Structure 1
Amino acid sequence: MIRRHFQYKQTITTILADSEADIEVAKAGILDARMAVEAMVAADPFFASTFEPYDPGSDHPIICRMVDAAYEADVGPMAAVAGTIARAGVEAMQEGGALFGVVDNGGDIALMTDRILRIGIYAGNASAFLQSAFLCPPQEKITGVCTSSATVGPSISLGTADAATVFSDDLSAADAWATALCNRLSADDQSEFNRLPGSRVRGAVAIFGDSLFSYGSVPEIVPAKIDTNLITRGI
């Protein structure tokens, strides 16, 4: 397995693949999606600034995925951008014939895998779950594990969760819902989970300090040696 860091402007990723050719294909897919978002923002700056669902009227599939997810989760379309771009990278690998590929776009992870994967949990250094991971089984189709945090990383958050992680085969929905849950859940009130039935979310986890709350179908959490140096960061 090959691990490569790939960064373009604010898009900061780690790509896992079985060959350098697959890495290059993933980069091309990421850049194509990024260019679509940049073009949309240039044409309609409100698309990038609103925290509310918004449809700019584009028929580009990247923009449509973001818009649809935003309306489902009741957030702005940019809440789905990282997951949507991550999916585009893995989708390109899949279309090129790869059986394994992972794109981690700052904690929003798209993957397809012919082997078991452990995805480390990171909710801050003080979390009781620091040395834990989600055990993800082999998965032929592309699926997503997207995380939002109010206490870790540079992204804007309106909530208090150390981590809100969403599992869905729709990466845009996973990213948008991770933002929504992180914004609206609290350690004392998990009623926002009640909005998930009927959505494209398969399962979700929210971590507040040493407390973990979950909804739906969530991968097994297992002990793991987490190397925080592998967390995707800008360089």
Structure 2
Amino acid sequence: MIRVPFRFRQTFATILADDPAHAEAAKAGILAARQDLEAYIARDPFFTATFDPYTPDCEDLIIVRMAEAARKAGVGPMAAVAGAIAWAGVEAMQEAGASFGVIDNGGDIALLADRPVRVGVHAGGAALSNRIAFVVPPQETILGICTSSATVGPSISFGMADAVTIFSHDVALADAWATSVCNQIRPDDTSVLNRVEPAEVSGVFAIMGEKTVTWGKVPPVVRAVVDEQLISAGDR
């Protein structure tokens, strides 16, 4: 397996692949998605500014995916940008023949795997931060594993959770719901999870200080040592 860091403008991602050609396909997929996104933003800058769901006048796949995810999760479309871009990259890897491919775009991960994969959890100053990992089973279809935090990273958050991780085969939706849940969940109030659709989101795992909340089906959680130097900065 090879690990390839990739940076282009606001995208700071890490690509995992078995074949250098698959890593190059991932880069091409990311760049194509960004090109479509940037072209649309130039025509409609409000797309990047709103914190509310928004209906764009565009049929480009990345724009449609971001807007639809935002509508379902009740957030602005840019809440889904990192997941949507990672998704496009892994789709390109799959089209190039890969059966294994991971893109970590700042904690928003798209994953295709013919083997189990461990995904570590970084949750700022929480006790479990960098000490646990999800053991994700092999995935024949692309899986999104997206994390939002109110205490880590440059993204805007209105919440207080140290980490909220969402699992969904719609990677943009996983990203959008991670933001939405992180904005609203509290140690004594998890009612936001009542809005999550089980047919679209398979599981949620939240860390708030010493408390953890699990909803739906989450991969096994094991003790681990997470190297912070391997964490990608992501889209910002």
| TM-score when normalising by structure 1 | 0.97
Distance 1:229 1:197 in 2: 34
1:39: how far off?
0.9
Instruction: Report Cα offsets for 1:66-114 as digits up to 9, x if no partner.
Output: 1110110010011111000000000000001111000000100000001
In structure 1, the residue matched to 2:204 is 204
In structure 1, the residue matched to 2:38 is 38
Instruction: Report Cα offsets for 1:196-230 as digits up to 9, x if no partner.
Output: 13551111011101210011000110011211111
In structure 1, the residue matched to 2:172 is 172
The structure, 1 or 2, with the larger RCO (C-alpha pairs under 8 Å, 6+ apart) is: 2
Distance 1:16 1:198 in 2: 29
- Please give the secondary structure, in 1, of the residue aligned with 2:144: strand
Distance 1:35 1:79 in 2: 18
- 2:142 matches 1:142: yes
- Flag as ranges the 4+ runs of structure 1 deviating above 6 A: none
In structure 1, the residue matched to 2:84 is 84
C-alpha contact (below 8 Å) 1:133/1:223 kept by paired residues: yes
C-alpha contact (below 8 Å) 1:160/1:183 kept by paired residues: yes
C-alpha contact (below 8 Å) 2:117/2:138 kept by paired residues: yes
C-alpha contact (below 8 Å) 1:72/1:199 kept by paired residues: no
Pairing of 1:18-97 with structure 2 (within 5 A): 18-97=18-97
1:125: how far off?
4.0
Distance 2:127 2:105 in 1: 22
Distance 2:42 2:199 in 1: 31
AA matched with 2:167: F
When structure 1 is superposed on structure 2, of 166-175 and 201-210 the one drifting more is 201-210
C-alpha contact (below 8 Å) 1:133/1:221 kept by paired residues: yes
1:61: how far off?
1.1
Instruction: Report Cα offsets for 1:19-68 as digits up to 9, x if no partner.
Output: 11111110000010111111111000000000000011211111111111
Pairing of 1:119-198 with structure 2 (within 5 A): 119-198=119-198
In structure 2, the residue matched to 1:113 is 113
- Please give the secondary structure, in 2, of the residue aligned with 1:135: strand
Q: How many aligned residue pairs are there?
A: 234
Distance 1:197 1:27 in 2: 32
- Please give the secondary structure, in 1, of the residue aligned with 2:158: coil
In structure 1, the residue matched to 2:16 is 16
**Do the aligned partners of residues 134 and 157 (structure 1) sit closer, same or farther apart at CA in structure 2, a change above 3 Å counting?**
same
Distance 2:110 2:158 in 1: 24
- Please give the secondary structure, in 1, of the residue aligned with 2:123: coil
1:128: how far off?
2.6
C-alpha contact (below 8 Å) 2:82/2:105 kept by paired residues: yes
1:178: how far off?
0.2
C-alpha contact (below 8 Å) 2:126/2:208 kept by paired residues: no
C-alpha contact (below 8 Å) 1:129/1:210 kept by paired residues: no
C-alpha contact (below 8 Å) 1:30/1:86 kept by paired residues: yes
1:167: how far off?
0.1
1:233: how far off?
3.1
C-alpha contact (below 8 Å) 1:124/1:152 kept by paired residues: yes
AA matched with 1:168: S
* Stretches of structure 1 lacking an aligned partner (at least 5 in a row): none
| TM-score when normalising by structure 2 | 0.96
Once the two structures are aligned, what percentage of the paired residues are identical?
57
